[in-house]
Amino acid sequence: MTDASRIAVVGAGYVGLPTAAVLARFGHTVVCAERDDTRFGALAAGRVPVLEEGLAELVAEVVGNGSLRFVRSAAEAVHGARFVFLCVATPEAYDGAADLSFVQEVATEIASALEPGAIVVNKSTVPVGTALAVERITGATVVSNPEFLREGTAVRDSLRPDRVVVGADDRRAARQVGELFSETGAPLIVTDTVTAETIKYASNAFLATKLSFVNALAGLCESVGADVRDVVLGLGYDRRIGFDFLRPGPGWGGSCLPKDTAALVHIAESVGYDFALLRAAIAANEEARERVVRKVEEAAGGDLSGRTVGVWGLTFKAGTDDRRMSPAVDVTRRLADLGVSVRAYDPTVPPGPVPTDLADLEGMVLCADAYDACRGASAVALLTEWDEFRGLDFAKVADLMASPALVDARNLLDPAALRRAGFSYSGVGRP
């Protein structure tokens, strides 16, 4: 029998875990399924396996008051649940399409265990039309409820989202799912599944295009001698443009923007539409990464082969331990391909053996701190905007390097202070 508000969340990853914890915080009873041994082991032992501000505290609170618990199997989690949230990964397949095997696997696994009348809610980012496929597999009503949280601020974003989108052919079911989030006070958009699924891709594609625009603009600023930070200030005060998501950097990455832009290009192709604008945004992202490599080359005085380069930051942005599709890792790879000896430091990556996802960078030395990473280096590339890089003793950094040259791919540091410390400094889009 279903409990009127019992919720199952399948998957305790970067989306599933904050979703489960926040729904529990809103007063619902939540059971979250995680089949990965390491992840489940950590959660069962009271540890949160991802770095996410405020999440460990929130999980401890809701587990402590009995509103959230973890189980191993999805079938167990859905037992007695009125709402079943699917929060599983949809990685990129070889051709840019979204790989739906996890969604399909879970849908098949839960099909026979679902309670009569249970509503399946799809939070995973899936191609337009997937809700119908999940409906066919499970026989249940499926509501598409795309997630817009960002890694690093997942708890804040989930407690106070800009909007809640619910899409279903059965609008009553969509509204019921929307009501689970009523405490957020966010505007509720009730629509059909295809539209809800499109909203998710459109949001990430727009954000990616915005970033590609500002990164290309930064390149232009360098050529004409303008300062991109002031240009962005001048743009941002126009309320139609705004200030958000306009920080130039080494290109955009992470587990969502690259995968979702590729998937949307693929979706468009499959219906005979050439989304040339989005393809250009993706190409501009390649250029942004390559420009950082060229700057490091220049900073090191030309040929990089045989040189040592220090790398500060490996995660795809600060505030997360996620390195999936990280621009920092990509730039590091490009440097290694040019024959560079890489010494890297990231506050979330322990020194010592290179982790498996970086196996192709096996010659890379992972250092215990930012100073150690620049020992003997001809240049340092700051690739992730970790706050701790601001507070370094740059005179000490300069002493440790073969020649004090710094490429600040995040415009994090103060060029004047660095020049005083004897550095040649190169930022993004700054004269």
Which active-site residues does the annotation give? 256
Identify which of residues 345 and 394 has a Cβ nearer to ligand UGA in the complex: 345
Binding mask 306-345 for ligand UGA (x = CB under 6 A): ----------xx---------x------------------
Total interface residues for ligand UGA by CB under 6 A: 21
> Is residue 85 at the binding interface for ligand UGA, with CB under 6 A as the rule?
no
Nearest to 290 by CA among 255, 330, 261, 259: 330
What's the closest the beta carbon of residue 154 comes to ligand UGA, in angstroms?
8
CA angle 427, 374, 395 (to 5 degrees): 75
> Is residue 389 at the binding interface for ligand UGA, with CB under 6 A as the rule?
no
Identify which of residues 291 and 317 has a Cβ nearer to ligand UGA in the complex: 317
CB 231 within 8 A of CB 237: no
Cβ neighbours, 10 Å, residue 339: 11
> Is residue 164 at the binding interface for ligand UGA, with CB under 6 A as the rule?
no
Binding mask 109-138 for ligand UGA (x = CB under 6 A): ----------------x-------------
Query: 324 to each of 211, 254, 315, how far by Cα in Å?
Result: 18, 5, 8
Q: How far is CA 370 from the centre of its chain?
A: 24
> Is residue 147 at the binding interface for ligand UGA, with CB under 6 A as the rule?
yes
What's the closest the beta carbon of residue 1 comes to ligand UGA, in angstroms?
34
**Sole window of 43-51, 186-194, 254-262, 393-401 interacting with ligand UGA (rule: CB under 6 A):** 254-262
> Is residue 257 at the binding interface for ligand UGA, with CB under 6 A as the rule?
yes
Distance CA 274, CA 280 (A): 11
> Is residue 149 at the binding interface for ligand UGA, with CB under 6 A as the rule?
yes
> Is residue 92 at the binding interface for ligand UGA, with CB under 6 A as the rule?
no
CA angle 58, 83, 203 (to 5 degrees): 70
Strand ordering across the sheet containing 379-382: 365-366, 341-345, 308-312, 379-382, 405-408, 424-426
Among 35, 72, 150, 334, binds ligand UGA (CB under 6 A): 150
Identify which of residues 49 and 254 has a Cβ nearer to ligand UGA in the complex: 254
> Is residue 211 at the binding interface for ligand UGA, with CB under 6 A as the rule?
yes
What's the closest the beta carbon of residue 327 comes to ligand UGA, in angstroms?
5
Distance CA 291, CA 429 (A): 11
φ and ψ of 43, to 5 deg: -65, -40
Distance CA 131, CA 74 (A): 18
Buried b or exposed e, range 300-326, using 16+ CB within 10 angstroms:
beeebeebbbbbbbbbbbbbbbbbbbb
DSSP state of 98: B
Identify which of residues 39 and 317 has a Cβ nearer to ligand UGA in the complex: 317
What's the closest the beta carbon of residue 293 comes to ligand UGA, in angstroms?
16
Binding mask 272-311 for ligand UGA (x = CB under 6 A): ----------------------------------------
> Is residue 263 at the binding interface for ligand UGA, with CB under 6 A as the rule?
no
- Three-state SS at 180: coil
Among 25, 247, 291, 295, binds ligand UGA (CB under 6 A): 247
Q: How far is CA 323 from the centre of its chain?
A: 9
**Which residues contribute to the site for ligand UGA (CB under 6 A)?**
125, 147-151, 204, 207, 211, 245-247, 249, 252-254, 256-257, 316-317, 327
